[in-house]
């Protein structure tokens, strides 16, 4: 990739990042851990782990549900990974940036707004019931209750976060205003271009490998399925829906990020054609010769559709060896 390709990418895609945090509701209790070690003749109490639900219930399940639905239904399908996660000064994971084709940006923002609204409705509910949770914990935890585990409701509210950031992709070949020699300025720019090259190569590989893996998974389940033993190779509707969603967003990722690769376009067309022949997932599970024949045919056509994306495709795409 050269400056021109990188600058084209900056016109077609946007960097996005989700940062979401909420209290775990679990607290390590070193006093209980020591008591448990003493009662069981454990030499080193650090070999044990004792935690307590300080709110008396798993309040996190509500926040996890909202965040998981957003990530799995919108955030991940509409974007591709751009940079790795990192760790902040307090040891918390900081999410890496993801790349969103601009053609998906409005849809993603709508999903963000919906999830964020639902998230803070739950936060308000949590804060409203927080005093009652503390009273319940004092009643139910007995001597394990420690008042210092429960800061004020005002402070607790600050521990919830749902931030969605957007950032432009840097362009190259423009006027870089930095007070260094021309040679060093050029080196800085080249290093930035190389990082962008590596990121795009990673995006390419991740997208293709994920698609091929999904297709192979569905095809294997279809081939293994036995209507007389439904635990064997059982496939559910969600597997097909997730694959269908991946196929639907592939053109925008290909055109805006991957440079309209012809092999990917062909794979997409063939996958769309396969899905058009499936009346329903339930019909594929039918115990009949026609359904069995249909399962085999769909599995074969799915595998064939992504055949061109396997083997040496990635290596050829980047001018490397077939093993890349």
Q: Are strands 51-53 and 80-81 parallel, antiparallel or unpaired?
A: unpaired
Do 191 and 300 fall into the same domain?
yes
Which residue carries 């008042």 as its tokens? 147
Per-residue pLDDT of the chain (324 residues; tens, 9 = 90+): 444 445 677 788 999 999 998 888 888 888 888 888 888 888 888 888 888 888 877 778 889 999 999 999 999 999 988 887 766 666 667 788 999 999 999 999 999 999 999 999 999 999 999 999 999 999 998 888 889 999 999 999 999 999 999 998 876 555 455 566 777 767 877 777 777 777 778 888 888 888 999 999 999 999 988 888 767 767 788 888 889 988 998 999 888 888 888 999 999 999 999 999 988 888 888 888 898 999 999 999 999 999 988 876 766 666 554 444
Joined together, the tokens standing for residue 21 give 């945090």
In whole angstroms, what is the distance from residue 208 CA to residue 206 CA? Answer: 6
CB 2 within 8 A of CB 198: no
What pLDDT is attached to residue 180? 61
Do 147 and 243 fall into the same domain?
no
Among 74, 78, 80, 83, which residue's Cα sits nearest to residue 103?
78
Please indicate, yes or no, if residue 145 is contained in any of the structural domains. Answer: yes
3-state helix, strand, coil in the chain (%, to 5): 60, 10, 30
Total domain count, the chain? 2
- Single pTM value for the model: 0.73
Do 163 and 287 fall into the same domain?
no
Which residue carries 């085999």 as its tokens? 296
In whole angstroms, what is the distance from residue 213 CA to residue 9 CA? Answer: 26
Do 188 and 163 fall into the same domain?
no
* 106: phi then psi, degrees, rounded to nearest 5: -65, -45
Do 186 and 81 fall into the same domain?
no
Please indicate, yes or no, if residue 11 is contained in any of the structural domains. Answer: no
What pLDDT is attached to residue 84? 72
What pLDDT is attached to residue 45? 85
Do 161 and 196 fall into the same domain?
no
Do 143 and 194 fall into the same domain?
no
Please indicate, yes or no, if residue 6 is contained in any of the structural domains. Answer: no
Please indicate, yes or no, if residue 10 is contained in any of the structural domains. Answer: no
What pLDDT is attached to residue 2? 46
Do 257 and 313 fall into the same domain?
yes
Do 162 and 220 fall into the same domain?
no
What pLDDT is attached to residue 89? 63
Please indicate, yes or no, if residue 100 is contained in any of the structural domains. Answer: yes
In whole angstroms, what is the distance from residue 231 CA to residue 35 CA? Answer: 45
Do 101 and 160 fall into the same domain?
yes
Which residue carries 């940079």 as its tokens? 83
Do 254 and 191 fall into the same domain?
yes
| Containing structural domain, residue 35 | 19-167
Please indicate, yes or no, if residue 66 is contained in any of the structural domains. Answer: yes
Do 25 and 118 fall into the same domain?
yes
Helix pair angle (289-305, 262-276), 10° resolution: 170
């Amino acid at each position: 990739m050269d400056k021109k390709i990188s600058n084209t990418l900056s016109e077609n895609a946007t960097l996005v990042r989700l940062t979401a945090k909420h209290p775990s509701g679990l607290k390590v209790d070193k006093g209980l851990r020591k008591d448990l070690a003493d009662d069981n003749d454990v030499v080193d109490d650090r070999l044990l782990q004792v935690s307590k639900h300080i709110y008396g219930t798993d309040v996190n399940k509500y926040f996890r549900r909202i965040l998981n639905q957003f990530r799995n239904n919108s955030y991940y399908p509409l974007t591709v990974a751009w940079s790795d996660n990192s760790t902040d000064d307090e040891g918390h994971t900081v999410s890496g940036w993801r790349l969103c084709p601009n053609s998906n940006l409005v849809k993603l923002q709508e999903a963000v707004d919906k999830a964020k609204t639902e998230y803070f409705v739950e936060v308000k509910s949590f804060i409203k019931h927080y005093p009652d949770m503390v009273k319940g914990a004092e009643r139910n935890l007995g001597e394990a209750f420690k008042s210092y585990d429960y800061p004020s409701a005002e402070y607790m509210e600050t521990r919830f976060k749902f931030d969605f950031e957007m950032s432009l992709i840097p362009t190259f070949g423009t006027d870089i205003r930095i007070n260094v020699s021309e040679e060093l300025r050029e080196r800085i720019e080249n290093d930035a271009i190389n990082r962008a090259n590596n990121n795009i190569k990673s995006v390419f590989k991740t997208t293709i490998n994920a698609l091929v893996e999904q297709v192979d998974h569905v095809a294997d389940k279809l081939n293994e399925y036995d209507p007389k033993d439904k635990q064997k190779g059982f496939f559910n509707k969600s597997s097909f829906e997730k694959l269908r969603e991946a196929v639907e967003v592939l053109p925008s990722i290909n055109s805006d990020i991957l440079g309209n690769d012809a092999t990917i376009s062909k794979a997409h067309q063939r996958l769309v054609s396969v899905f058009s022949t499936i009346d329903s997932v339930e019909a594929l599970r039918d115990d009949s010769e026609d359904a069995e024949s249909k399962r085999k045919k769909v599995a074969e056509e799915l595998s064939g559709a992504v055949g061109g994306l396997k083997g040496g495709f990635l290596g050829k795409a980047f001018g490397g060896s077939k093993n890349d």
